[in-house]
Structure 1
């Protein structure tokens, strides 16, 4: 699935969050899940895809990522729970 998007990963429900942007969500989440790269998500075991927001262009996605990163944690949790109240891993759904 190739389309510009912002995504949020979590270590567990209400756990540590990571916000990113990509044009290839399936590949990017696989990289996080497989710990293919050293960094924050590998260090803290952040592997659950809990939120995805598709946008029209990469500049729009980057702008949205920056906006969400500035939000208080409570707003980020509310954003996730609006569409994914159980904090289920959305990765299997997007792989199809």
Structure 2
């Protein structure tokens, strides 16, 4: 059985004040849903459409485990992780197109 690739990602809003963590097997499709307002109630409510962080896994199960781990982190830890890879908090969506 072939493992399915997975992604953990973080979205934010224009003022970069709120974080959302998600996991998916198809990041392009999932981000498009968030942008369209159909991805999650939370992302729609707070206009979270800017991809500022992601990790790629060879196994979707590992991506879901990492999502749960990150969700339990303190807010400062999450922001420090994002800034360690993306210090300017740029939108990384272009990396997938």
Task: With the length of structure 1 as denominator, give the TM-score of the two structures.
Answer: 0.90
In the alignment, the residues of structure 2 paired with residue 12 and residue 25 of structure 1 have an alpha-carbon distance, to the nearest angstrom, of 20
Report if aligned partners of 1:21, 1:65 keep a CA contact under 8 Å in 2. yes
Alpha-carbon offset, residue 11 of structure 1? 1.0
Task: Give 1:33's aligned residue.
Answer: 35
| 23-32 or 6-15, larger mean C-alpha shift | 6-15
Task: With the length of structure 2 as denominator, give the TM-score of the two structures.
Answer: 0.89
Task: Give 2:22's aligned residue.
Answer: 20
In the alignment, the residues of structure 2 paired with residue 24 and residue 88 of structure 1 have an alpha-carbon distance, to the nearest angstrom, of 21
Task: Give 1:3's aligned residue.
Answer: 5
Q: CA RMSD in A?
A: 1.5
In the alignment, the residues of structure 2 paired with residue 11 and residue 86 of structure 1 have an alpha-carbon distance, to the nearest angstrom, of 14
1:1-58 CA-partner distances (Å, limit 9, x unpaired)? x830100001135411100000100110011011134600000101100001001211
Task: Give 1:62's aligned residue.
Answer: 64
In the alignment, the residues of structure 1 paired with residue 92 and residue 6 of structure 2 have an alpha-carbon distance, to the nearest angstrom, of 17
Query: Cα 1:26–1:69, aligned 2, differ >3 Å: closer, same or farther?
Result: same
